Chains A and B, each alone.
Chain A
Amino acid sequence: MIGLFLNTAFNYFQAFIFKDIDILDEVFVEVNHEMSSSCLKIISDMLSRCNLTILDVDKIYCVRGPGSFTGLRIGATIAKVCSWGLEKELYSLSSLQCMACSDVATNYVIPIVNARRGYVFAGIYDSNRNVYMTDRYMELQELKDIVSKLNGSYSYVSLDEFDFEVMKFVPNNKNILRYCSFRKESPYDFVPDYLKEEYVGNNG
C-alpha cells in the first residue's frame, strides 16, 4: 500500500510517501506564502524520486486542521480532488496530533499554535499520543492553567515562538504512522476543521 501524506496547516509544507510502514521520501520545507505554488511541484518531484506516479498512490492522508485557514484549504483541495479523481481513499488527521508526534520523551505533549490576540490552538496528548485534552481554540492563559495541573512532565511543541520554553516542531513521520488515528473522509464532503468560526467584519 502506497500512501501520500500532506500537511499544509502551517507555514511549512510537510509531505511524505510511504509503503506500508516504510517512509520512501519526505519533505519539510518552509514555504510561507508560496504554499500554493509549491505543493504539487514538490509532490510530483517526490513521486519521481521514488520512481512512482500519482497513479501508484493507494491512499491519501491530509491534515484537517487547525492551522492557517488558507494553508488548510490548499491541502484539503489537493487531497479531495486527488482522492475523487483517482478514486482512492482519503483520510484526515489533526494537525496538532501530527505535531505531537515529534520526538518528545515527556509524559505529556502539548502542540500549540499561536492564534493571535492571546488565543491559541492547542491539544494535550499523552506519551502514546492519545488525546488527553481535545484540540481546541482557547485563551493561552486557560491552557496554562490546565497544564499547571498535569500530573507528570510535559513539553510544548510549536513552530511559533512564545514567552515560555517551546520545542520546535520537527516531524517524525514514523511516529505519525505509529501513533496517529486517521479519520476516513469523503472526497465530496471533506472540509478543513478550522476550530474557529469565520470572522465576519464590517463588510461596508
Chain B
Amino acid sequence: MKKDVYILGIESSCDETSCSIVRNGTDDISTVILSQIDIHTLYGGVVPEIASRNHIKDITVVIEQCLKKANINMDMIDAVSVTYGPGLIGSLLVGLEACKSMAFIFNKPLIAVHHIAGHIYANQIGNKMQFPLMCLVVSGGHTDLVYMKDHGSYEVVGSTLDDAVGECYDKVARVMGIGYPGGPIVDKLAKEGALTYELPIPKNDDSLDFSFSGLKSAVINLVHNEKQRAHEIRREDLCASFQNVVVYSLASKTIKAMEKYNVKNLILAGGVAANSGLREKLTDLCKQHGFNFSYPDIKYCTDNATMIAACAYQLFLKKQFSSLTLEAVSSEKLK
C-alpha cells in the first residue's frame, strides 16, 4: 500500500499567518490562519511593517496550534513547505525563516512554493485538477491567465498591464468610503444595485491582457464630479456598474483564452475568486460553451497555507527541494 505523504505548509506573504498540514496534496488535515485584517483596516490597507511585526509575534503559536489540531507530531511530517514569494518581503521572511529552521532542526526536506502557484493549487484541495486547463488568477496583487498542460507547468498567457483587479476593488471602495477590503463589500452592494452608471470597458480588444487603472480613474473621477455637483452617489448602483464592467472584462478574456488554447477546463484562483458576480458569470459562460468550471471553496481563496502544502506535494513527488540558503523574493513571475 502506498504510504501517505504529509506536508506542513507555512504562508506569511501578506497579512495572514498560516500553517497547514495536507495529506497527499489534497486532504486538508489541519489549517490555522491568523488574520491581521482588523489591524490593517484601521489604515485602509496593509501596512508592511505592522504585518511583519505581527507575523513574528504569532508564528510559533500558529505552527503549534496546527500540529495540535492535526494531532500529529513532526516525526510524521514528510516535508515542510513555505511561500518564498512574491509578497511583502518583511512578511515573507518570517515564514521563510520559520520553515527553514523547522527543516533544519527536524531534518526535513524544504520545499519552496511560489505564492501564485499556491493559489492555483487551492483548486486541488478535496478535488483533482483536470489538464490541460486555464486558470484565471485574480487577487490584490495579480490578474493573470495561466495555461497549464500538467502539474507544475505554468504559462502566463495574459496579464494585467497595470493594476491588479483586487487592488482596483480596494481603491474604488476607498473612494466611495465603504471600507476595506473592497472586494467583498463591493460584491455585496453590487447585488442590491442597478446598472445606472456608464463606465468604460477596459482593454476591450483581442489581446488576453487586462487593464484596470483606467476603470479605477473613471470611478474616482465620477465620484469627485458628482460630489462637486452635490449629487449623491447611489453606492449600490455604482458597485453594480463597476462590478459588471470588471466581470465582463475578466470573463470575456478568459473565454477568449480557452478558445485560443483549446482547453475545456477552467479554474479560478486568488482572493477575488470568492467574488460571487465573477463566479456566476463564468458559470453561465462555461455552460454555454461546454467547458468544465470549478473554483476553490471560499475559505481557500484568501491567503492560506493549505494551498501552499497542496502545491508542495507535486514538488515533493519530483524531489524539488531547496537548501537552507533559500531567499525570499518580493516579486517573481510564475514559471
Residues of A within 8 A of B (CB): 34, 36-41, 43-44, 54-55, 69-70, 73-74, 76-78, 80-82, 84-86, 187-189, 191-192, 194, 198-200, 203-204
Distance in angstroms between the alpha carbons of A18 and B63 in the assembled complex:
29
**What residues of B have a CB within 8 angstroms of the CB of A192 in the complex?**
56
Closest chain B residue to A40 by CB distance? B324
Asked whether B105 lies within 8 Å of A73 as measured between CB atoms, the reply is no
Pairwise interchain contact B327-A77, C-beta atoms closer than 8 A: no
- A73-B90, A77-B97, A194-B53 given; name 17 further pairs at CB < 8 Å: A40-B97, A69-B52, A70-B52, A73-B94, A77-B56, A77-B59, A77-B93, A78-B97, A81-B59, A81-B63, A85-B74, A85-B101, A188-B61, A192-B56, A200-B47, A203-B43, A203-B46
The answer to whether the Cβ of B298 comes within 8 Å of any Cβ in the partner chain is no
Pick 12 A–B contacts, CB within 8 A, sort by A.
A34-B327, A36-B328, A40-B97, A40-B104, A44-B104, A54-B104, A54-B105, A81-B97, A82-B104, A198-B50, A203-B47, A204-B45
B48 to chain A, nearest CB (A): 9
- CB within 8 Å for A198 and B59 given contacts A73-B90, A86-B105: no
Q: In the bound complex, how far is the Cα of B157 from the Cα of A40, in angstroms?
A: 38
Please give the residue numbers on chain B whose beta carbons come within 8 Å of chain A beta carbons, in ascending order.
43-47, 49-50, 52-53, 56-57, 59-61, 63-64, 74, 89-90, 93-94, 96-98, 100-102, 104-106, 174, 323-328
Q: Give chain B nearest CB distance to A145 CB in angstroms.
A: 30
A187, A189, A198: the one contacting B49 at CB < 8 Å is A198
Which residue on B lies nearest to A55, using beta carbons?
A: B105
Partner of A200, one of B50, B93, B327: B50
Closest CB in chain B relative to A85 CB, distance in Å: 5
Given A36-B327, A198-B53, A203-B44: A187 and B105 interface contact (C-beta under 8 Å): no
Let me know if B104 and A200 touch, CB within 8 A.
no
Query: What is the predominant secondary structure among interface residues of chain B facing chain A?
Result: helix
- Please measure, in the bound complex, the distance between the C-alpha atom of A55 and the C-alpha atom of B104, giving whole angstroms: 10
- CB closest chain-B residue, reference A38: B325
Contact of A81 among B47, B53, B102, B323 (CB under 8 A): B102
Given contacts A54-B104, A84-B60, A203-B47, contact A77 B53 (CB under 8 A): no
Query: In the complex, A59 Cα to B43 Cα: how many Å?
Result: 40
A41: chain B residues within 8 A (beta carbon): 323-325
Instruction: Flag if A77 contacts B325 (CB, 8 Å).
Output: no
In angstroms, Cα B329 to Cα A55, docked, is 30
Can you name the residue of chain B whose Cβ is closest to the Cβ of A79?
B101
Once bound together, how far apart are the Cα atoms of A38 and B57, in whole Å? 23
CA–CA, A43 and B45, complex, Å: 37
Q: A77-B101, A200-B50 are in contact. Are A85 and B106 (CB under 8 A)?
A: yes
Collect the chain B residues with CB atoms within 8 Å of residue A204's CB: 44-45, 174
Contacts of A199 in B (CB 8 A): 49
Instruction: Kindly list the 5 A-B residue pairs having the minimum CB-CB distance in the complex, ordered from nearest.
Output: A81-B101, A77-B97, A198-B49, A40-B324, A37-B325
CB distance from B226 to the nearest CB of A (A): 21
When C-beta atoms are compared, the residue in chain B nearest to A47 turns out to be B104
Query: How many Å from the CB of A188 to the closest CB on chain B?
Result: 5
Across-interface contacts of A85 in B (CB, < 8 A): 74, 101-102, 105-106
CB atoms of A40 and B49 under 8 A apart: no
Q: Which residue of A lies closest to B100 (CB)?
A: A40
Q: Which of B47, B56, B98, B325 is within 8 Å of A191, CB to CB?
A: B56
With a cutoff of 8 Å between Cβ atoms, the chain B residues found around residue A80 in the complex are 56, 59-60, 98
Of the candidates A38, A40, A76, A86, the one whose C-beta lies within 8 Å of that of B56 is A76
Residues of B within 8 A of A82 (CB): 101, 104-105
A186 smallest CB distance to B (angstroms): 9
- In whole angstroms, how far apart are the Cα atoms of A28 and B86 in the complex? 30
Chain B residue contacts of A78, Cβ below 8 A: 97, 101
| Nearest A residue to B326, CB-CB | A37
Instruction: Please report the C-alpha to C-alpha distance between residue A78 and residue B101 in the assembled complex, in whole angstroms.
Output: 6
Chain A, Cβ-Cβ closest to B324? A40
Q: How far is the CB of B297 from chain A (nearest CB, A)?
A: 30
CB distance from B168 to the nearest CB of A (A): 14
Residues of chain B within 8 A (CB-CB) of A55 are: 105
Determine if B49 and A69 form an interchain contact, defined as CB atoms under 8 angstroms apart.
Answer: yes
Residues on A with C-beta less than 8 A from B57 are 189, 191
- Cα distance, A77 to B101, chains bound together (Å): 8
Task: Determine whether the beta carbon of B93 is less than 8 Å from that of A73.
Answer: yes
Q: Decide if A74 touches B90 in the complex (CB within 8 Å).
A: no
Q: Verify B101–A37 contact, CB threshold 8 A.
A: no
